[in-house]
């Protein structure tokens, strides 16, 4: 297989994985796995289908989802084009029955139990922004239901929550093949629950989710407002927890900040450990790009990688999407080479989305002082004042979230404190936020004030 075809296969696999968040695994295996990505050129994805009925069915039922998934991977809105081929064996497209592919013919990225072997702890790039969450995830993977139960991972979109959850499942299955693991998004859980009610198969649904050993449920915030799904998940949670089964959840906010979820659910989410994943700093972003680049048979100048890392700051998925776009362009047009000028042109729409000004640590300190009605001089002093302890930890926490400064650099701005103090503050505030909705709301308000002023 030549280099270009390998790169295109990797991109198509990534698109299929993104589709798996909004389309059932069965539909993807039936309609998308047999598709081949032939080229990416002039904002067009050229696809090859084994039979015209695939094109018809995708365009009629899944076109918007395919465009959306392609955008999230390539960071551009593509036009979907199918290469025109007549059906083989003289059969009419409309008369050919589509059969489920044999297991051995299916792409290796679709594993049973919702797991994708692409995600592991080894290929998760750990930085100060994610080291606590990664350590907690590894502990759970090593000792399911004994370390932290439940484990609740939270953070904004595209920071690695799904990667860590999948890594937990893959590690457990690799070590203990007899353990039954199920990964599912809350949307998939809800859709399956509704389908079970409609088909009268609720008993089978409950057997699937209540007789497993490890449940990994992603994007739990999408259960908001779905009363019957919340009721069903509440009893599923209790059944698994009471049976000493491991539960791992993820959300975009700390449990106490989740809206339109029953209090009894939020309370259970807080029984174990909550761990936040923050946006990565510049060093981690650069490391992620270098690691992702290993999947391609290309060499991109480090100055170009630095250019991307400096400008795409808050979303790892968007960072990887930018690199995918460059690699696709370089593979097709430039024989593996690309210039900084071409990079700037190719990524101008992404770069324009980034904040034009940087939030400074002094801006954070002043906002926190205003919120707590304390003096700035006390915030940055070396003195240990009990009344200042919490506001100072809040300011350190926000500095970790909103700046690219190292732990030591942040500590230096708070009276010369060391990196351990800052790390302790980050973990303390993350834990407090999961149990104190007022604190979580205050920090959210300060964050919005700082980011909206940019």
Mark the binding-site residues for ATP, compressed into ranges: 158, 160-162
Which residue ranges are tagged as binding site? 158, 160-162
Say how far apart CA 154 and CA 276 lie, in whole Å: 5
Give 236-300 as a DSSP string: HHHHHHHTT-EEEEEESS-GGG-SSS-HHHHHHHTSSEEEE-PPP-HHHHHHHHHHHHTTSS---
- Residue 79 β-bridge partners: 44
Integer CA distances (angstroms), 314 to 284, 308, 339, in order? 11, 12, 24
CA 116 to centroid of chain Cα atoms: 14
Please give the structure tokens belonging to residue 188: 């998939």
- CA-only gyration radius of the chain, Å: 24
CB 217 within 8 A of CB 154: no
How far is it, in rounded angstroms, from Cα 37 to Cα 35? 7
CB-CB contact of 269 with 300 (8 Å): no
Yes or no: say if 343 and 304 are a contact pair by the CB < 8 Å rule: yes
Spatial distance between the Cα atoms of 427 and 274, rounded to a whole number of angstroms: 10
Nearest to 290, CA basis, from 318, 320, 332, 335: 320
| DSSP assignments along 153-179, one per residue | EE-STTSSHHHHHHHHHHHHHHH-TTS
Whole-angstrom Cα distance, residue 178 to residue 181?
Answer: 9
């Amino acid at each position: 297989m030549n280099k270009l075809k390998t790169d295109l296969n990797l991109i198509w696999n990534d698109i299929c994985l993104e589709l798996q968040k909004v389309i059932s695994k069965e539909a993807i295996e039936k309609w998308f796995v047999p598709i081949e990505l032939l080229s990416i050129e002039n904002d067009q994805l050229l696809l090859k289908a084994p039979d015209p009925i695939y094109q018809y069915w995708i365009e009629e039922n899944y076109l918007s989802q395919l465009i959306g998934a392609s955008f999230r991977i390539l960071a551009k809105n593509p036009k979907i084009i199918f290469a025109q081929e007549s059906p083989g064996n003289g059969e009419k497209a409309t008369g050919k029955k589509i059969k489920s592919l044999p297991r051995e013919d299916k792409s290796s990225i679709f594993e049973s139990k919702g797991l994708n072997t692409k995600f592991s702890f080894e290929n998760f790039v750990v930085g100060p922004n994610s080291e606590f969450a990664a350590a907690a995830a590894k502990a759970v993977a090593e000792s399911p239901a004994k370390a932290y139960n439940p484990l609740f991972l939270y953070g904004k979109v595209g920071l690695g929550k799904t990667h860590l959850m999948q890594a937990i499942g893959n590690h457990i299955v690799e070590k203990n093949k007899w353990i039954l693991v199920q990964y599912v998004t809350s949307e998939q859980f809800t859709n399956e629950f509704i389908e079970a009610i409609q088909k009268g198969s609720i008993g089978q649904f409950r057997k699937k989710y209540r007789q497993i050993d490890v449940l990994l449920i992603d994007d739990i915030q999408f259960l908001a407002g779905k009363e019957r799904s919340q009721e069903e998940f509440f009893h599923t949670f209790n059944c698994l927890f009471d049976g000493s089964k491991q539960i791992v959840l993820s959300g975009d906010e700390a449990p106490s900040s989740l809206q339109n979820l029953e209090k009894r659910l939020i309370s259970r989410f807080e029984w174990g450990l909550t761990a936040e994943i923050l946006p990565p700093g510049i060093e981690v972003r650069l490391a992620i790009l270098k690691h992702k680049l290993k999947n391609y048979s290309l060499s991109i100048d480090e100055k170009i990688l630095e250019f991307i890392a400096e400008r795409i700051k808050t979303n790892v998925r968007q960072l990887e999407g930018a690199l995918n776009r460059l690699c696709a362009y370089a593979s097709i047009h430039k024989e593996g080479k690309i210039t900084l000028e071409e990079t700037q042109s190719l990524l101008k729409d992404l770069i324009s989305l980034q904040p034009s000004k940087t939030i400074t640590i002094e801006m954070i300190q002043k906002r926190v002082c205003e919120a707590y009605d304390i003096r700035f001089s006390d915030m940055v002093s070396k003195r240990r004042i009990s009344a200042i302890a919490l506001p100072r930890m809040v300011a350190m926490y926000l500095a970790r979230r909103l700046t690219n400064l190292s732990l030591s650099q942040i500590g230096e701005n708070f009276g010369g404190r060391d990196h351990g103090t800052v790390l302790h503050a980050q973990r303390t505030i993350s834990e407090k936020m999961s149990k104190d909705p007022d604190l979580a709301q205050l920090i959210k308000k300060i964050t919005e004030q700082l980011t909206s002023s940019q």
